[in-house]
Structures are given as C-alpha cells and as structure tokens.
Structure 1
C-alpha cells in the first residue's frame, strides 16, 4: 500500500463533498476519467471500496493532509460554495466548513418519509398477496389429496 499523491488526496476530499467526477474535474482542471483513475487508485491505497469511505479513511490515515477549508472554498465553483461559513477557524466548532454549512433542503424529509411508507406498504401488500396465493395453492392441493 503506497502513499497517496497530492492529486489523489484532493480528489478524495472533493469526492467527500459529494461532488461528481465532472465537478471535481472542473475544480481541478483535469478530465473526469483522470478523476476516476485518481479515485480508484486512492481507494486501492486506502483499502476502501467507495468515495465516502475513502474520504473518511483519508481523514483518519492522513490527518491534516490536502487542502485547508479556505483552499477548498477558494477552489469550489460559486454555485457549490456555501452562502454562509459561520465558525470557520473558530475553536468552538472544529468540524469542516461543509459539515457546518450544509443543511438538508426543507421538505425533503417528508418526501423521503412518504417514499419509505409507500414502499413499505407496497411490500406488505405484495407479501399479503403472496401469502393468500400460497394458502390457496395448499388448500387446493389438500382438497385433491386422497383420503
């Protein structure tokens, strides 16, 4: 297991912010396929299987590596920058700026809950239907059984 290069660290950091390969490529000035190669190489070196795990492992195995919060903000496109960065550099909250600034969009929780309830209801209906079909089959077979 080798050490990560500077570009691999940058790609993993930006992937940890949930940026796509195209967005990372735009930020770093490289192609999306190069980003994919860097992320694949970083995953192999970190022993992870996906982007989020690599970003988490990066913070554990390489503390302080890569870009600072200010450098990340400077490199991000305007549309990806948080509107307000409260507490950057503050001793009260040592989480990264993106963890402090990001909030789930309003209304999404109810949509997600509705989808979960709907899918669960659908599965219960399917399982109930399967149960009645199996019961019908067994009762028919029982009726055909010689006494």
Structure 2
C-alpha cells in the first residue's frame, strides 16, 4: 500500500514523530510541507502538524487546501503540542474532511519541547513508541 508521511514542524518535535512513523512502516522518506506533495496516488497519508497557540500552523492549513482528492485516499493525523489542547488536531481533521478525503478517526498527539524550559525531554522514547504503535495499527487496519 502506497503510504507517505508529510508534516510541518518549526522546532523539530513533529519531525521526530514523523520519522518514528516512517521507521515503523519502513518508509524511506518523510517530507516537510510545503512544497512536498505526493507525486502519485497515495492510499494512506500520515499528516502531522505542530500546534502553535492552539492552532495548526498556517502553512499546514494552506497545504491541506491544495490537497488533490484524486491523489489521496485516506489521511491519518498526528501532531505535537506544548500544552494539553488538542483542538488543532481536530481542526486539521475537519479541513481534510471538507475536501472529501477519508480521515481516520483515531489520531496521535503528544507533548513536544516548548520553549527552553517546558517539556524539555519531549517527545521521549515512550512517545515515539506510541507513535509507532499508532502507525502500525492504522496501516494494518487499512491493509486488511
């Protein structure tokens, strides 16, 4: 099954989760948006965003607006955040649904390092392990 991992990350937290997902599914490459775009039909797109002031980054929102419904069949959303607010992940899901693309109900979100002092060791090994389990579960459910 053709699977891609795309993300947007300012500080590197979401990139770490994207790389863990790619490692679990043996995907050779992850890319940051924009300008990355699936060059061919993708059965499963893992789409990750950092959460900034409770919202997804504007670059991620713009990227979602350009998604071609003919090229992407399913999207699984993941992200990292400084606090506990997960509304941005739901916003991303809603924007994708508005495009008419199937969105996987289950999401993955964890805390990331926030400034210098908060969540200094996040995402940690347990977060990466959980991200891999999330990816495997989604992938296997669609492959069946």
What band does the TM-score fall into relative to the shorter chain? under 0.3
Structure of greater Rg: 1
TM norm structure 1 = 0.23
Structure with the largest fraction of helix: 1
Q: Give the strand-richer structure, 1 or 2.
A: 2
Higher relative contact order (CA 8 A, sep 6+): 2
